[in-house]
């Protein structure tokens, strides 16, 4: 135990149905990993027959989250059981949990329905002028391209910076371009969707603090699998949908806006709760044109409450497992496939080491056929930009990755 406190992971209704003692399912020594077998059987029971390595596309809902959604919808069918104050409190809870997850303050979090909303909000609200340039690395996911491209209507141009020969963001080149005073925004993904490249956020943060350009981060492929601490690594805007690595319903997500920036951003679209005092439902027509001082000014209420109820449940699970431990666990999973690639000469498209993440992409000969073979072996993964993308999460095992390596080798 090393004298470290134990952490209890609560199992929710699934645990109770298995006869576990009320509330607590299993305990974890903070200094060690969690019990993956128990996690699989209680929260992801279907893992007994399918190897699911597609979290970069759709993260599965843990059992506890599925049950929370069912329970919420039971109340939704009889809405006299739902109360505005409780619904608002639930969203406040979500903002608090997200803030804890990324080292921010709850006031800096606006809840959104996806990543694109946050990036689009930033593109329209940042104070950009004709002649300004937005830097985007080539090969970014389109959610982080089109909102910037469309700023042409304001005379703001998007510059696609070519990737390195490996197809990864060229950070040295991005930093060089930041020296151009016309560059007002650097928009990057924390982790690239097609190869898992993890940017050096510290480096990009420091460079943008120095140049004065805004740093906007599409974080959907990173948050949930990698620790992020914005209190140590400042960014200006960070957008994230929760449907992938946060194992949450479609329709849940958030955008972080740095505290000092919030008051200066005038959202192009506002919700009826974006204004001060509007939570008092007894005097809604006493209109107030003062935007909220916190990030709620960016929220487009009404939001899908059921999805945020689900997000809360998934966040509880992820926070109790510990994102650092999840990252460490995922790192142990890649080895069998990397060894197969090294033996067979298949190209590993993903970076290894500090720029690596939980996403591992390999490009063997006849990649489409190999992908079909994996599918036939009940191994679920994606084909992206000419490579097989394997994206394991907290519940996957080395034995599963050995199965993948075996299926890859069987030609």
Contact set with ligand PLP (CB under 6 A): 114-116, 141, 143-144, 189, 193, 218, 220-221, 241
Q: Report the sign of the C-alpha dihedral through residues 116, 117, 122, 123, in that order.
A: positive
Q: State how far the alpha carbon of 200 is from the alpha carbons of 159, 174, 357, 359, in Å.
A: 20, 12, 12, 16
Which of residues 225 and 278 has its CB atom nearest to ligand PLP in the complex?
225
Nearer to ligand PLP, 135 or 346 (CB): 135
d(CA 406, CA 237): 42
3-state secondary structure of 47: helix
Residue number closest to ligand PLP, CB atom: 241
Considering the complex, state which of residue 116 and residue 167 has its C-beta at the smaller distance from ligand PLP: 116
Tell the smallest beta-carbon distance from residue 121 to ligand PLP (Å). Answer: 12
Half-sphere exposure (Cβ direction) of 97: Cα atoms closer than 13 Å: 28
Burial class (CB within 10 angstroms; exposed 0-12, middle 13-18, buried 19+) of 242: buried
> 271 with 301: CB under 8 angstroms?
yes
Largest CA distance in the chain: 71
Whole-angstrom distance, CA of residue 40 vs CA of residue 403: 17
Is the CB of 94 or the CB of 144 nearer to ligand PLP? 144
- Return the number of the residue (144 or 211) whose C-beta is nearest ligand PLP: 144
> Rounded to the nearest whole angstrom, what is the least distance from the CB of residue 29 to ligand PLP in the complex?
34
Q: Minimum CB separation from ligand PLP for residue 392, in Å?
A: 16
**Min dist. Cβ of residue 32 to ligand PLP (A):** 32
- Write down the least CB distance from residue 189 to ligand PLP, Å: 4
Nearest-approach distance from CB 165 to ligand PLP, in angstroms? 22
Whether the CB-CB separation of 143 and 297 falls below 8 Å is answered with: no
Residue with Cβ nearer ligand PLP (115 or 208) = 115
């Amino acid at each position: 135990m090393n004298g470290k406190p134990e952490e209890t992971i609560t199992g929710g209704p699934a645990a109770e149905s298995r006869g576990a003692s009320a509330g607590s399912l299993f305990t974890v020594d903070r200094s060690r990993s969690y019990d993956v077998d128990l996690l699989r059987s209680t929260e992801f029971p279907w893992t007994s027959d399918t190897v699911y390595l597609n979290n970069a596309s759709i993260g599965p809902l843990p059992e506890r989250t599925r049950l929370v959604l069912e329970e919420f919808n039971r109340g939704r069918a009889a809405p006299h059981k739902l109360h505005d104050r409780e619904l608002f409190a639930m969203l406040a809870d979500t903002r608090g949990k997200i803030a804890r997850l990324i080292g921010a303050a709850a006031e800096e979090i606006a809840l959104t329905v996806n990543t694109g909303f946050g990036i689009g909000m930033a593109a329209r609200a940042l104070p950009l002028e004709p002649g300004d340039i937005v830097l985007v690395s080539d090969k970014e996911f389109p959610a982080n391209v089109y909102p910037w491209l469309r700023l042409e209507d304001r005379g703001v141009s998007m510059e696609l910076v070519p990737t390195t020969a490996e197809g990864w963001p060229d950070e040295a080149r991005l930093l060089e371009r930041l020296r151009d005073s016309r560059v007002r925004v650097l928009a990057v993904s924390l982790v690239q969707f097609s190869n898992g490249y993890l940017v050096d956020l510290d480096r990009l943060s420091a460079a943008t603090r120095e140049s004065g350009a805004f740093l906007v981060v599409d974080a959907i492929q990173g948050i949930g699998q990698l620790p992020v601490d914005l209190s140590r690594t400042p960014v200006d805007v960070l957008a994230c949908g929760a449907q992938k690595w946060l194992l949450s319903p479609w329709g849940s997500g958030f955008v972080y806006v740095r505290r000092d920036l919030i008051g200066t951003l005038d959202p192009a679209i506002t919700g009826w709760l974006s204004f001060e005092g509007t939570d008092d439902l007894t005097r809604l027509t006493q209109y107030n044109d003062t935007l909220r001082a916190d990030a709620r000014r960016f929220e487009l209420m009404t939001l899908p409450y059921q999805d945020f109820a689900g997000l809360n449940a998934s966040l509880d699970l992820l926070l109790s497992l510990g994102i650092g431990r999840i990252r460490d666990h995922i790192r142990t999973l890649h080895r069998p496939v990397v060894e197969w690639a090294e033996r067979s000469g298949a190209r590993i498209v993903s970076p290894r080491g500090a720029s690596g993440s939980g996403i591992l992409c390999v490009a063997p000969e006849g990649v489409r056929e190999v992908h079909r073979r994996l599918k036939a072996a009940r191994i679920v993964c994606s084909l992206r930009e000419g490579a097989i993308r394997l994206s394991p999460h907290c519940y996957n095992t080395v034995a599963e990755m050995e199965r993948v390596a075996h299926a890859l080798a069987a030609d």
